[in-house]
Chains A and B, each alone.
Chain A
Amino acid sequence: MINKSSSIINIGGLSVGIAVVMLIGLWIHNELSYDKYHKNYDRITQVWQHINYNGSISSQAANPGVLAEAIRNEYGSDFKYVLQASWIRDHVLSYGDQVFKKSGIHFEPEVADMLNLKILSGTKDGLKEVNSILLSQSVAQIFFGTENPIGKTLKLDNKIDVEVTGVYEDLPDTTSLNAMGFILTWELYLSQSPWIKNMNNPWSSNFSQTFAQLADHVVLENVSQKIRNIKLDKVSEGERKFKPQVFLHPMSKWHLYSKFENGVNIGGRIEDVWLFGIIGFFVLLLACINFMNLSTAQSEKRAKEVGIRKVIGSKRIQLIVQFFSESLLIALFSFILSIVLIILILPFFNRLAESNIDILWNIPLFWIIGIGLILFTGILAGIYPALYLSSFKPIKVLKGTIQFGKYASLPRKILVVSQFAISVILIIGTGVVYEQINHAQNRPLGYEKNGLVSVESSPERHKHLSAIRSTLITEGVIIELTESLGPVTANWNTNGNIGWDGKDPNFAVDFPNNAVNYEYGKTVEWKIKEGRDFSKEFGTDSLAFVINESAVKFMKMENPIGKKMYWGKTPYTVIGVVEDLLVQSPYDPVRGSIYHLSKWEQNVITLRLNPTKSTKESLRKIESVLRAHNPGLPVNISFIDEEFAKKFRNEKRIGELSLFFTLLAIFISCLGIFGLALYIVEQRKKEIGIRKVLGASVFYLWKLLSKDFAVMVILACSISIPIAYYLMGEWLQKFDYRTSISWWMFGVAFIGSICITLLTVSFHTIKAANENPIKSLKIE
Chain B
Amino acid sequence: MIKINNLEKHYKTEELQTIALNKLSFEVKKGEFVAIMGPSGCGKSTLLNILGLLDDSNGGSFIFNNEEVIDYNERKRANIRKYNIGFVFQSFNLIDQLSVFENVELPLIYTGVKKAERKKRVHDVLEKMQIMHRRKHFPQQLSGGQQQRVAVARAVVNNPKLILADEPTGNLDSSNGNEVMELLTELNEQGTTIIMVTHSEHDAKYTHRIIRMLDGQKVTENSLI
A694 contacts B106, C-beta separation under 8 Å? yes
- B window 77-112: CB within 8 A of A: 78-79, 81-83, 87, 89, 91, 93-97, 106-107, 110-111
A interface bracket (residues with beta carbon within 8 Å of B): 10 to 19
Question: How far does the alpha carbon of A695 sit from the alpha carbon of B97 in the complex, in Å?
Answer: 18
A774 contacts B54, C-beta separation under 8 Å? yes
Residues A693 and B95 in contact in the complex (CB < 8 Å), given A700-B110, A774-B49: no
- For B93, the chain A residues whose CB sits under 8 A away are 686, 689-690, 693, 777
B82 contacts A695, C-beta separation under 8 Å? yes
Residues A403 and B78 in contact in the complex (CB < 8 Å), given A690-B95, A694-B110, A773-B54: no
- For B114, the chain A residues whose CB sits under 8 A away are none
- For A690, the chain B residues whose CB sits under 8 A away are 93-95
Question: How far does the alpha carbon of A693 sit from the alpha carbon of B95 in the complex, in Å?
Answer: 12
Question: How far does the alpha carbon of A697 sit from the alpha carbon of B75 in the complex, in Å?
Answer: 8
B interface bracket (residues with beta carbon within 8 Å of A): 20 to 34
Which of B79, B107, B140 contacts A694 (CB under 8 A)?
B107
- For A697, the chain B residues whose CB sits under 8 A away are 75, 78, 110
Task: Say whether A696 faces chain B, with CB atoms less than 8 Å apart.
Answer: yes
Which of B49, B95, B107 contacts A695 (CB under 8 A)?
B107
A694 contacts B97, C-beta separation under 8 Å? no
The contact string, 1 if C-beta is below 8 Å from chain A, for chain B 108-125, is 001100000000000000
- For B106, the chain A residues whose CB sits under 8 A away are 691, 694, 696
B82 contacts A694, C-beta separation under 8 Å? yes
- B window 122-174: CB within 8 A of A: 140, 154
Most chain A beta-carbon neighbours within 10 Å: one of B89, B94, B106? B106
Which of A687, A693, A772 contacts B81 (CB under 8 A)?
A693
Task: Say whether A406 faces chain B, with CB atoms less than 8 Å apart.
Answer: yes
**Separation in Å of the A56 CB from the closest CB of chain B?**
66
**Separation in Å of the A364 CB from the closest CB of chain B?**
53
Task: Say whether A780 faces chain B, with CB atoms less than 8 Å apart.
Answer: yes
- For B82, the chain A residues whose CB sits under 8 A away are 694-695
A695 contacts B111, C-beta separation under 8 Å? yes
Q: Is the interface of A mostly helix, strand, loop or mixed?
A: helix
Question: How far does the alpha carbon of A406 sit from the alpha carbon of B99 in the complex, in Å?
Answer: 12
Residues A780 and B54 in contact in the complex (CB < 8 Å), given A693-B81, A697-B75: no
- For A691, the chain B residues whose CB sits under 8 A away are 95, 106, 110
A694 contacts B91, C-beta separation under 8 Å? no
A687 contacts B55, C-beta separation under 8 Å? no
- For B78, the chain A residues whose CB sits under 8 A away are 692, 695, 697
Which residue of chain B has the shortest Cβ distance to A693 in the bound complex? Answer: B87
A777 contacts B110, C-beta separation under 8 Å? no
Question: How far does the alpha carbon of A700 sit from the alpha carbon of B111 in the complex, in Å?
Answer: 12
- For B154, the chain A residues whose CB sits under 8 A away are 694
A774 contacts B55, C-beta separation under 8 Å? yes
- For A696, the chain B residues whose CB sits under 8 A away are 106, 110
**Separation in Å of the A533 CB from the closest CB of chain B?**
78
Most chain B beta-carbon neighbours within 10 Å: one of A686, A690, A692, A773? A690
- For B96, the chain A residues whose CB sits under 8 A away are 687
Question: How far does the alpha carbon of A691 sit from the alpha carbon of B87 in the complex, in Å?
Answer: 11
Most chain A beta-carbon neighbours within 10 Å: one of B79, B95, B140? B95
Most chain B beta-carbon neighbours within 10 Å: one of A694, A772, A777, A780? A694
Question: How far does the alpha carbon of A687 sit from the alpha carbon of B93 in the complex, in Å?
Answer: 8
Question: How far does the alpha carbon of A44 sit from the alpha carbon of B96 in the complex, in Å?
Answer: 72
- A window 651-705: CB within 8 A of B: 686-687, 689-697, 700
**Separation in Å of the B29 CB from the closest CB of chain A?**
25
Which residue of chain B has the shortest Cβ distance to A700 in the bound complex? Answer: B110
Which residue of chain A has the shortest Cβ distance to B81 in the bound complex? Answer: A695
**Separation in Å of the A487 CB from the closest CB of chain B?**
71
- For A777, the chain B residues whose CB sits under 8 A away are 89, 91, 93
Question: How far does the alpha carbon of A530 sit from the alpha carbon of B217 in the complex, in Å?
Answer: 104
A695 contacts B110, C-beta separation under 8 Å? yes
- For A780, the chain B residues whose CB sits under 8 A away are 91
- For B79, the chain A residues whose CB sits under 8 A away are 695
**Separation in Å of the A697 CB from the closest CB of chain B?**
6
**Separation in Å of the B167 CB from the closest CB of chain A?**
13
**Separation in Å of the B86 CB from the closest CB of chain A?**
9
Which residue of chain A has the shortest Cβ distance to B52 in the bound complex? Answer: A693
The contact string, 1 if C-beta is below 8 Å from chain A, for chain B 59-82, is 000000000000000010011011
The contact string, 1 if C-beta is below 8 Å from chain B, for chain A 747-780, is 0000000000000000000000000111001001
**Separation in Å of the B18 CB from the closest CB of chain A?**
15
**Separation in Å of the B100 CB from the closest CB of chain A?**
14
Which residue of chain B has the shortest Cβ distance to A406 in the bound complex? Answer: B97
Question: How far does the alpha carbon of A687 sit from the alpha carbon of B96 in the complex, in Å?
Answer: 8
B55 contacts A772, C-beta separation under 8 Å? yes
Most chain B beta-carbon neighbours within 10 Å: one of A690, A693, A772? A693
- For B81, the chain A residues whose CB sits under 8 A away are 693, 695
Question: How far does the alpha carbon of A694 sit from the alpha carbon of B110 in the complex, in Å?
Answer: 7
A687 contacts B110, C-beta separation under 8 Å? no
Question: How far does the alpha carbon of A691 sit from the alpha carbon of B91 in the complex, in Å?
Answer: 15
**Separation in Å of the B71 CB from the closest CB of chain A?**
17
- For A693, the chain B residues whose CB sits under 8 A away are 52, 54, 81, 87, 93
Question: How far does the alpha carbon of A777 sit from the alpha carbon of B151 in the complex, in Å?
Answer: 14
Question: How far does the alpha carbon of A693 sit from the alpha carbon of B110 in the complex, in Å?
Answer: 11
Question: How far does the alpha carbon of A773 sit from the alpha carbon of B82 in the complex, in Å?
Answer: 14
A687 contacts B97, C-beta separation under 8 Å? yes
**Separation in Å of the B5 CB from the closest CB of chain A?**
23
Return 13 A-B CB contacts under 8 Å, by A number: A403-B140, A686-B93, A686-B95, A687-B95, A691-B110, A693-B81, A696-B110, A697-B110, A772-B54, A774-B49, A774-B54, A777-B89, A780-B91
19 extra A-B contacts, CB within 8 A, seeds A693-B52, A772-B54: A406-B97, A686-B93, A686-B95, A687-B95, A690-B93, A690-B94, A693-B54, A693-B81, A693-B87, A693-B93, A694-B87, A695-B78, A695-B110, A696-B110, A773-B54, A774-B55, A777-B91, A777-B93, A780-B91
